[in-house]
Structure 1
Amino acid sequence: MKVQYSFEREFEELMSDLLSKYGYEMFQMDGLGDQLDVVKFTEDFVRRGIIESTIDANANVRVTNISTYFIEISKPHTYLYSLYRIWQKMKEMFGKGVADEFVEAQINGAVYLHDRHHAALMPYCFAYTLKPIVEKGLPFIKTIKSEPAKHLSTFIQHVIQFVMFASNQSSGAVGLPDFFVWMWYFVKKDLKEGIIPRDKLDWYIEQHFQILTYSLNQPIRTTQSPYTNFTYLDRNYIKAIFEGERYPDGSLITDHVEDIIALQKHYWEWVSRERERQMFTFPVLTASLLYKDGKFLDEDSARFINKINMKWQDTNWYISDSIDAVASCCRLTSSTQTLKKFSLSSEEEEKLKGRMNSIGGSDLNIGSFKVITVNLPRIALESGGDREKYLQILRHRVQLIKKALAAVREIIKERISEGLLPLYENGLMLLNRQYGTIGVTGVWESASIMGLTTEDIDGLKYTEEGEVFVDNVLDTIREEAEKGYHEYGFTFNIEQVPAEKAAVTLAQKDRFLFGEKQPFEIYSNQWVPLMANTDVLNRIRYSGKWDKKVSGGAILHINLGESFKTEEESFNMVKMIADMGVMYFAFNTKISVCEDGHAFYGERCPVCGKAKVDEYMRIVGYLVPVSAFNKERREIEYPRRQFYDSLTIRR
């Protein structure tokens, strides 16, 4: 018996030709080999577990059971359909030649379509404001409609239910940057009405922190926890974003800045204590802080984050010199001034400004509808060291990605008109507030293949010509992204993508095609690989130099072999990084966990006395057990990560 798909004959012929050209192993690496055979997939799933059998490997998918099986077995098939539907739309918009070229580029690894099994079905990510939930409740959940919350307990449940709804209607992060702004309204209201006893205020608030946080870490997004992120907004951000905004009782939000700050601090303190009882992944925490002329404008908030971060280093730092930019999703940031031009019901097609990031800490009502990454090391291999040829290939490939993103956007419009994407229908997600994201990965490996990296007393680094080369690469992509708005009527941005699985797959495909000319087992998602033996100042300098060139964000990871000795030492390091122009960064430590889930440092748990059984570490941007890393990251990349035992700061 042969299972048939109802594809157009031209698509079937294309896939047959590509199979003949590249072989079955290439299709297997792309998730379109044995994964399409339900018998082989099932046997592989049972024998090896979800981490090694899924085509959508990420450390948030880590539990092997019958529920995950039913979800995972369909992904190769919906990926194949998505590839077909994108090919159809590109053929309609740009001709068969362009459509065929994109499919071949995806199969052979010249580009990487992220969340590919959802690519023709749902959008990527969004940073939502909770204002509609506060004002309207949950009328979009048709099975049982909830009116607006009147008390804190109902509001928390509404947030949980909204996250469940939103995360199952999109493939990426659910950002909630203004959660604490709206939570404070209900705390204030319940205090005034006597619902919360004043002498039990802290306990009452922490009970709701607990309900929310533990709920967000349950497998409520099909069979995994939804990717959520919360943002600590400093006083400047709160005042700028919510200028003129009022709570339902008519009071100005900006009259409650100190209360909101206190509530944010309370949550961060609770999280720090709670990790000792139970380590968890979500929400991803980011602090958005304004920094100008060598100082934090809200130094109280900056010093608080610095102090609370000393224990687990679990907060990402987003530092901007302009209130016009706030950080979102996994690595995305954007413009508060642009936001003020838009209402929630706006359908006006205007060019987005600012930045958006896929890891955490974003603006309101901003996101990305899809990410497609250009494989930079592949271009280095194709160009044979010719830099002019490299830039020509790069420009053409980015143009191809723009066309693919334009096609995906049209498909999403069709899904909206078909009534399949209620987030748009109910004005909670806005397509005109979502970027088409051009991803980049393997910048370092690309330069290395071109002979533009070196090693000296400071360790591995780019040569002077290598730095100029990276400038030219990023400037070329940026030029194409900026032209895209006039070509296709929506805004493109650029992101140095986390590439949790993509960095592995693309390296494998390049090794398959180019053999030993491609010496890397995994590509980097940093300007310098986390495995590279280099002075920490090199990492910081490159991030300060190039982060601003990727409008969709990048994150610098600094791995600490030992904790900072004092708060002042840590704060000086943070300020030095800010002074060098780095916008988004995180310190990483190896957090031990015992079998009961208690977090600690060392080999034995101080709470229960049991031995360490695993470590939590940021795989790309969020804290997960190392045992949940995909095989290549777990066995190759993680053991080789460079940690810095002594960070000497001279100012």
Structure 2
Amino acid sequence: MPREPLGVKVLKAVSSPLRLRILDFLMNRGPLSYTEIMKLLKLKPSRDAGRFAYHLKTLLKMDLIEPDLEKKKYRLTSLGRKLVEVAEEIEENAFQRKKMLVRTSRLSLEHFERNKIAESLIKEAGVPADLAQSIARETERRLTKLRTKYLTAPLIREFVNAILIERGLEEYRHKLTRLGLPVYDVTQLIKTMSQRAVDVEAVHEAAGDAVLEEYALLNVLPRDIADAHISGSLHINNLGCWVLKLEGVMHDLRFFFRYGLSPGPGLEKIPRKPPKDLESALSITIEVLKLTTRESMGEQTVDFFNVFLAPFVGDMKPDEVRDIIRNFLIEVNHLIPSGVSLGLELTIPRFIAEISAVGPNGRNVDIYGDYVEESLLIASSIIEAMLSEEKPILNPSLIIKIRNKTFKDGKAERILFEAHRLALKRGTPYFANLILKEQRYASYAATGFRLASEWSGDWELDTLRTGILDSVVINLPRACYDSGGNRSRFFEQLRDRMEMAARALEIKYLTIKERIGENLLPFLTQCRDGDPYYRLENSSRLVGFVGLNEAVHAISGNPIYQSEESLKFAVEIVKFLSKELERYSNRPDSRFNLSMISCRNAAKRLAELDIERYGLAKVRVHGGRKNPAYTDMTAIPFDAGIPLQRYLRIEEQFHQLTPGSHLTPIPVREGENGPESLLSTTKEIVNTHKIGFYTYSRDMAYCNNCDRLFYGEVVKCPLCGSVKTMTRFIRRSAKYATKTLNSI
């Protein structure tokens, strides 16, 4: 009798469905023990041991599997692997006409291809090729059982992720996570944004920010930092732009007045020549602000605004200057989506006065000290234009800079008086107290951000053509609750969170350097004479905190303003944070600054998370049960109801300890009818207190129908009785929030 060919014997060996399943398990799961295979086949040892041993022996005899004596498991041989692949190919060809369709992320329908899963695993998650093929086969097997008309890419990814989790391959699953928003979330986002009086572009940006926020948390930040943000120990600001944009920019208009405007490589726009007059200088300024919004997400500050523009006034009449300035303010208000701060000098400081001025056509024209009258005309024109509008102009914001000579110059003092009239009538200007020695070179943004010459000692390098890299906020009450109120453990918690905050900002710095290397910030990094416009290495990294008052209250038993002991403890906390941050500032290109950041979102989010974890009975918040939040931007709530002198004495202690950002809002008292009272308060502040930056604040309401502004809590227009035409202006942070009355 002729000998039976080996091929026939092998095919007979796999003719049993059970033996083929054994080969499949070993192919997809790798080496398995005797017991593991029986369990997968759902066989009972007491009943099926003999039958199972027979099938296993057959596979061993045909050299389809082999024992791994060291691990006491069975594994496929090369012949066994080949046989499984042939079987799968036969099955695939047999069902070619019934092949599953996939709706891809490219919005097309394609036939299902198992190899694409393997390729994706290798490319996106770095999975070894054999393991990737094994997971792809298992995914195909499970999807085939669905009998659905077509599959979607997210559904396939869900199956792949489930298999990775089952096999304990969590790290690969993490890398394979798909970013995006569920359909329900997008629907809710549109509804929520529609209630905020914004346009469709704002919805578009919010959706994009949500995706990039996920990306930053999953793929950029280390797991411990991401978890700290999600759980509420920290708040990382601007996560939606964390990997792409800077937070704030301090401009130097002289750069563009000298060289003109180059949109940067990759932007198909025609360069503009240096401006020849005031109108073209302001036009270029608008373009600078527009282009910068593409590469930064926060406040843009144009310091020394009136001084650098002064050489362009020439022989213009005051009325002409006022008209051009008013048009500029309206254009900024309408066209620039980000906040803009304009720094106004009422007296030209010596370090500016003696510098050669950049004038028409980019040429040097004398020194800035020769243009005092022109700079004052521009400053007064801006204030006059803002007073002429019944509805408050909230953007741009004015930074009125007060120096030693301000009260010694009659013209400067008159403009300062008008600035206080604007503060009383519209509540919009901010005041920088630059009389103190350490404040001489300080530049502020309306958000409270501050840059001065403490970094390199050169005021131009430290304050202009740089800005704010980004900011991270520490949740002080959470550290208190996590430490059980124990002071030593509380400070240990703060040390750990400071380290994470500093590390997050270092990652941000390296990430932005990558974007610059990829030429994705072409405007801000344009070079002249080898020197980029924006000096990234000089940008400030802000570490802030919220809930100082609430943390002190929880530990000491009293809020800061009710006890000297509580105030002393609050100062101790901030000094500790300052000292810890100094450890990271000694490194190259690491300009860290402690800050009292204005961040209402962080104050609300962190308070709500703490209430979820510890309960409202334990967590102390500002704003009550309906609108819980921690105190931000100031040490104590500015509506605490304490005397102004006491309030200022408390706040000044923290301004000196938080050089990166601080701002003290001063409520305008009811019945205050003249600017003289506010000016008197300003004189007291600059002569008596070490308050670096402050603003006068009042609640207002504007009727769009009557074009009239009213003060205080107005329920409806006193003139026409309308409710829906009313807009309220409420300051709960550095800037006013606007709300329609029917949405409050």
TM-score class, shorter: 0.7 to 0.9
Q: Is the 8 Å Cα contact of residues 121 and 415 (structure 1) preserved in structure 2?
A: yes
The structural deviation recorded for 1:563 is: 4.6
Q: Shift of residue 132 of structure 1? A: 1.2
1:616 aligns with 2:720: no
Structure 1 position 512, deviation (Å): 1.4
Residue number among 393, 400, 411 corresponding to 1:287 in the alignment: 400
The aligned counterpart of 2:374 is: 259
Contact 1:600/1:606 (8 A) holds in 2: no
SS at match of 2:630: coil
- Residues 1:627 and 1:430: Cα distance change in structure 2 (over 3 Å): farther
Larger Rg: 2
Name the structure 2 match of 1:110.
233
Alignment of 1:232-311 (within 5 A): 232-237=344-349, 239-247=350-358, 248-274=363-389, 276=390, 278-291=391-404, 299-300=413-414, 302-311=416-425
Please show how residues 25-424 of structure 1 align to structure 2 within 5 Å: 36-50=180-194, 62-87=196-221, 99-141=222-264, 142=267, 143-188=269-314, 191=315, 196=316, 201-220=317-336, 225-237=337-349, 239-247=350-358, 248-274=363-389, 276=390, 278-291=391-404, 299-300=413-414, 302-320=416-434, 321-322=436-437, 324-329=440-445, 330-335=447-452, 341=458, 363-422=463-522, 423-424=524-525
Cα deviations across residues 531-590 of structure 1 (Å, max 9, x unaligned)?
534333332111112111001121111222425344433222222333122121111122
Q: How does 1:572-611 map to 2 (within 5 A)?
A: 572-578=680-686, 579-596=688-705, 598-601=707-710
The answer as to whether partners of 2:466 and 2:536 remain within 8 angstroms in 1 is: no
Deviates most, 308-317 or 561-570: 561-570
Residue 431 of structure 2: SS of its match in structure 1?
strand
Structure 1 window deviating more from structure 2 (607-616 vs 370-379): it is 607-616
Change (3 A) 1:231 1:563: farther
Distance 2:495 2:181 in 1: 37
Cα deviation, residue 446, structure 1: 1.1
2:417–2:676 contact (8 Å) kept in structure 1? no
Residues 82 and 121, structure 1, Cα contact 8 Å, conserved in 2: no
* CA distance, structure 1, for counterparts of residue 193 and residue 506 of structure 2: 36
Cα 1:462–1:601 change in 2 (3 A) is: same
Secondary structure of the 2:381 match is helix
Task: Name the CA distance, whole Å, in 2 between partners of 1:453 and 1:235.
Answer: 44
What CA distance in whole angstroms lies between the structure 2 residues aligned with 1:328 and 1:432?
Answer: 19
2:678 corresponds to 1:570: yes
- The count of residues paired between Structure 1 and Structure 2 equals 554
Higher RCO (CA < 8 A, seq sep 6+) = 1
Match of residue 644 from structure 2: 536
| Amino acid of the structure 1 residue aligned with 2:503 | K
Give secondary structure in 1 for the equivalent of 2:552. helix
Q: Relative to 1, partners in 2 of residues 1:489 and 1:152: Cα closer, same or farther, differing over 3 Å?
A: closer
Cα pair distance change 1:567/1:532, threshold 3 Å: closer
User: C-alpha separation between the residues in 1 aligned to 2:612 and 2:368?
Assistant: 57
Letter in 2 for 1:169: E
Identity %: 18
Q: 1:499 and 1:7, CA in 2 relative to 1: closer, same or farther beyond 3 A?
A: farther
- Kindly indicate whether the alpha-carbon contact (under 8 Å) linking 2:455 and 2:591 is maintained by their aligned counterparts in 1: no
What residue in structure 2 maps to residue 59 of structure 1?
none
What SS is found at the alignment partner of 2:365?
coil
- C-alpha offsets along residues 505-528 of structure 1, whole Å, 9 cap, x if unaligned? 111111112223214210111211
Q: Give the aligned residue type for 1:157.
A: S
2:47 aligned residue: none
2:515–2:521 contact (8 Å) kept in structure 1: yes
Distance in 1 between residues matched to 2:539 and 2:659, nearest whole Å: 13
Three-state SS of the structure 1 residue aligned to 2:676 is: helix
Q: Quick one: which amino acid aligns to residue 223 of structure 2?
A: D
Q: Which runs of 5+ in 1 are unaligned?
A: 21-32, 52-61, 88-98, 345-351, 353-362, 455-459, 635-651
Structure 1 residues 392-401 or 534-543, which shifts more?
Answer: 534-543
Matched-pair contact (CA < 8 Å) for 1:435–1:492: yes
Q: Is the 8 A contact 1:174 1:227 kept in 2?
A: yes
Distance in 1 of aligned mates of 2:393 and 2:440:
32
Is the 1:85–1:120 Cα contact (8 Å) retained in structure 2? no
> 1:300-352: per-residue Cα shift (whole Å, max 9, x none)?
554443344332232111113125332323212233587873777xxxxxxx5
Q: CA deviation at 1:597?
A: 8.1
User: In the aligned structure 2, how far is the partner of 1:35 from the partner of 1:506?
Assistant: 24
Cα 1:466–1:48, aligned 2, differ >3 Å: closer, same or farther? same
Q: C-alpha distance in 1, partners of 2:699/2:732?
A: 11
TM-score between the two structures when normalised by the length of structure 1:
0.77
Q: Does structure 1 retain, via aligned residues, the 8 Å contact 2:311–2:371?
A: no
Check conservation: 1:524, 1:530, Cα contact below 8 A: no
The Cα shift of 1:160 comes to 0.9
Matched, 1:446 2:551: yes
Q: Which amino acid aligns with 1:115?
A: N
Contact 1:378 1:510 in 2 (8 A): yes
Over 3 Å counting, the alpha-carbon distance change for 1:483 and 1:386 in structure 2 is same
Contact 1:127 1:365 in 2 (8 A): yes
Residue type matched to 1:205 in 2?
Answer: V
Secondary structure of the residue that 2:503 maps to in structure 1?
Answer: helix
